Amino acid sequence: MAQAVIEFVEVTKRFGPALAVDRMSFAVAPGEFFTLLGPSGCGKTTTLRLVAGLEEPDEGEILLNGIPIASPKRGIFVPPDKRRMGMVFQSYAIWPHLTVFENVAFPLRVRREPAAAVKERVLGALDLVGLQGLAERGATELSGGQQQRVALARALAYTPAVLLLDEPLSNLDAKLREQMRFELRSLQRRLNLSVLYVTHDQGEAMAMSDRIAVVHRGRPEQVGVAAELYETPASSFVGDFLGRTVMLRGTVKKSAQGSWIDLRNAGGRISLANNRPAQFAEGEEVRILSRPEDIDLLPGGEVGPNQIKAKVEMVAYLGDHLEYSVSAGGRSFVLAAGKKARYPVGAGIRLAFDPARITVLPL
């Protein structure tokens, strides 16, 4: 990767005894849309505040274009106003008593930019976010979506080195939120912005990001492009966070005929050929993860290779497809299926796995 715009090296931040960020490392490339995705309380906002200089790390280093901006061991801490970060918060944080123009101009005025330059930049930024012509409106005369655009324009007005976005769409209604995903992404591409984006919404992360770091308890558990994380999750946390998973336990078996996972409880076995069997030892207990859409439902009968027995517990009719709740191997999960074959509640069926599309994890 080219010189990272933002790099975290083993950064730790505590609040009293609580560990908000735990030896966090990641790097954002120039022009990259990089997203921190994780549940509430996992340390996303704290990470953005560390980048902005609103918090000081306890340990580790934060670099901007290769230069340390926070490093307790070297006694370095560059204050927020010297970092050129544009930040947009979940709550728009715009000033209700100011006009749209003055809201966007505020950071430029703080930096004592000449009036002509302020005007040019503010009008340019309002143009970028689709608010041209609204400069003289009072900020509170705008809709929620427009107010969020004002916040975005304010962050863009002084060409930040990095744009920091903390769940900026979460206060918008669903339809506008989806439209804004595309707008933000196309704006980022057009301006070649480096973006560090924070969300708990996996759909949002997958729709917009170049790369995603799935954060769990203050640490990125896996970093990659959306398809990598979805199809080859490094842990069940990542697998579950990015969508539905089917998880079963089994035992690794090796013989001259090949390697497989014995799913005793579900009465079947799954070939390990596509999963580098050398990683696992004979007799090792493992979990297999599959995406529901990679599993086929077949009528009951003798199980063949890569199949297990299951029982239909519930069926829901969803118009274009059916959703089955099935039990297998002592667990229940939900699988979608077409309408051609219909299995009634209580029916014994088989589930066929695609051994090329399963993830095997140590127990």
Residues that bind Mg ion (CB under 5 A): 45
Which of Mg ion, ligand ADP, none lies near 362, with the C-beta cut-off 5 to 8 A by kind? none
Q: How far is CA 262 from CA 24, 251, 287, in A?
A: 37, 5, 11
C-beta of 200: minimal distance to ligand ADP in Å? 7
- Partner touching 20 among Mg ion, ligand ADP, none, CB below 5 to 8 Å by kind: ligand ADP
Contact present, 300 and 347 (Cβ < 8 Å): yes
| Residue 222 near ligand ADP by CB under 6 A | no
Task: Provide, rounded to whole angstroms, the least separation between the CB of residue 229 and ligand ADP.
Answer: 18
CB atoms under 10 Å from CB of 324, counted, come to 23
Of the candidates 308, 306, 299, 312, the residue with the CA atom closest to the CA atom of residue 265: 308
| Packing angle, helices 115-128 and 144-156, rounded to 10 | 130
User: Counting contacts by CB under 6 A, is residue 20 touching ligand ADP?
Assistant: yes
Figure out which of the listed residues 3, 10, 18, 276 binds ligand ADP, where binding follows CB under 6 A: 18
Helices (H), the chain: 44-52, 100-110, 115-128, 144-156, 174-191, 202-208, 226-231, 236-241
SS3 letters across 246-271:
EEEEEEEEEECCEEEEEEHHHCEEEE
Q: Does 15 bind ligand ADP (CB under 6 A)?
A: yes
Number of residues near ligand ADP (by CB under 6 A): 11
Tokens read off for 258:
């090949």
Residue where the block lists tokens 């608010």: 131
Q: State in angstroms the smallest separation of the CB of 81 from ligand ADP.
A: 21
The binding track of 40-59 with respect to ligand ADP, each residue x by CB under 6 A or -, is xxxxxxx-------------
Q: Between residues 121 and 219, which has the closer beta carbon with respect to ligand ADP? A: 219
Pick one of Mg ion, ligand ADP, none as the site partner of residue 145 (Cβ within 5 to 8 A by kind): none
Judge contact between 227 and 243, C-beta under 8 A.
no
| Partner from Mg ion, ligand ADP, none binding residue 60, C-beta < 5-8 Å depending on class | none
State the binding partner of 305 from Mg ion, ligand ADP, none, CB within 5 to 8 A by kind.
Answer: none
91 lines the binding site for ligand ADP (CB under 6 A) = no
CB-nearer residue toward ligand ADP: 103 or 202:
202
CA geometry: angle 12, 16, 19, nearest 5 deg:
35
Residues that bind ligand ADP (CB under 6 A): 15, 18, 20, 38, 40-46
